[in-house]
Amino acid sequence: MLLLGAQRGATLDTNAIEDAAVMLVAALGEEGFQKPAVTIKATLADGTLKQLVFDASLETALPRAMEARSVEFRVKPGVRWHIDVVEITGLTALPVKTARAFFRVGSMPFLRAKTNAYSPSRVESAAGALLGELRQRGYADAVVRAEAAKIDEKSGAVALRVEVTEGARWQVAVVALRGRGRPGGDVAGGDEMGGPRVVAGVTGESKGGDSAGLRTQGICRCRRADRGRAGGRAGRTKAGDGRRANPAGGTGENRAGAFRR
């Protein structure tokens, strides 16, 4: 396999050859070939042919003083490692089958090794995707750890262990929009720009749904998109009955869950 040519110069030194070999091994690893055998066939500047075995661990380095006119890499990829089993513990926020699909997908038997090729970076990426899903569901403190628990180097089958710590589920408990009408405008609050003030409370819940208590509370100021529209309106929504604000500018309440507008 020819990797390098004259674009790197008239000759290639040891560092350039090693860099190319490392990139080649890394690319094979991403496809599941974790233990390829790489042989380097180099034609030196004086025409001498030199054959070397590349050590992917770099414990055995290539000869330092080497200048080659051409370099050829011959590769035996070996067995493709693939994710065969995924064991997940500590997960309750979504079905285990759904979480397992982040790490392993179903496919035809003859394609299974390729589509589920194992590499540390693929596993890390899958764990990150699962963590992102948990955070989207409100588990801001979740932790996901994934590692190869067992590897059969003869068949390439990898058993993966995934440990999930969900933590408390966070959710918005109260959002209140407070302000007072002003001439010729809409709702106005304490903002120097005339916008309403929004007070939001966030709580963390246990797995059983019971409130773990108010964890944090923040105050932000924003401007209404329709500020300046004729006719002011001041409304407040709490939680429960069906009364709505009077569009003509009166006040009222609309109870519909723990949400205030």
**pLDDT of 175:** 85
Identify whether 236 is part of a domain: yes
**For residue 243, is it within any domain?**
yes
pLDDT digits (tens, 9 = 90+) for 199-220: 555 555 544 444 333 343 333 3
Greater confidence (201 vs 49) lies with: 49
Q: Is 129 helix (H, G, I), strand (E, B) or coil?
A: helix
Q: Both 90 and 177 in a single domain?
A: no
Domain boundary among 42, 76, 110: 76
Whether residue 147 is found in the same domain as residue 185: no
User: In Å, how far are 203, 213, 217, 220 from 172, measured between CA atoms?
Assistant: 6, 12, 10, 14
Q: Which of 47-51, 84-88, 118-122, 246-250 has the lowest mean pLDDT?
A: 246-250
Mean pLDDT, residues 93-115 taken together: 82
Clarify whether residues 30 and 44 are in a common domain: yes
Confirm if 18 and 62 have CB atoms less than 8 A apart.
Answer: yes
Q: Which of 256, 141, 260, 162 is nearest to 205 (CA)?
A: 141
Scored b (16 or more CB within 10 A) or e, 132-162 reads ebbeeebbeebebebeeeebeeeebbbebeb
- pLDDT at residue 31 is higher than 70: yes
Q: Looking at the structure, do residues 258 and 172 belong to the same domain, yes or no?
A: yes
The CATH number that applies at residue 91 is 3.10.20.310
Of 232 and 75, more confident: 75
**Contact (CB, 8 A) for 145 and 131:** no
Average pLDDT over residues 54-83: 90
Instruction: Give the contacts of 86 (CB within 8 A, at least 6 positions apart).
Output: 100, 103, 104, 160, 162
- In 3D space, the residue among 160, 80, 164 whose CA is nearest the CA of residue 123 turns out to be 160
Same-domain pairing of 157 and 146: yes
What is the average per-residue pLDDT within 50-67? 88
pLDDT above 70 coverage of the chain, percent: 62
| Res. 240: pLDDT tops 90 | no
pLDDT of 27: 94
Is 39 part of any domain? yes
Residues 156 and 100 grouped into a single domain: yes
Instruction: Render pLDDT for 108-132 as a digit per residue (tens, 0 to 9).
Output: 555 667 789 999 999 999 999 999 9
110 and 58 in a common domain: no
Co-location of 129 and 216 in the same domain: no
Task: Say what the pLDDT of residue 215 is.
Answer: 40
Domain count, the chain: 3
Which of 42, 59, 76 is the endpoint of a domain? 76
Mean pLDDT of the chain: 75
- Band of residue 56 on the pLDDT scale cut at 50, 70, 90: confident
- Is 183 among the domain residues? yes
Q: Are residues 175 and 214 in the same domain?
A: yes
Final residue before a domain boundary, out of 113, 148, 165: 165
pLDDT of res. 178? 74
At 87, phi and psi to the nearest 5?
-105, 125
Q: Which domain holds residue 42?
A: 6-76
More confident site: 70 or 235: 70
> CA 114 to CA 33: how far, in whole Å?
10
Instruction: Give the predicted TM-score (pTM) of the model.
Output: 0.63
The answer to the question of residue 29 being in a domain is yes
| Same domain, yes or no: 172 and 161 | no
Question: Helix H segments across the chain?
Answer: 14-30, 96-100, 112-115, 120-136
In a domain, 116, yes or no: yes
188 lies in the same domain as 256: yes
Classify residue 1: in a domain, yes or no: no
User: pLDDT tens for residues 183-194?
Assistant: 554 444 444 445
Mean pLDDT of 225-247: 42
Query: Are residues 152 and 173 located together in one domain of the fold?
Result: no
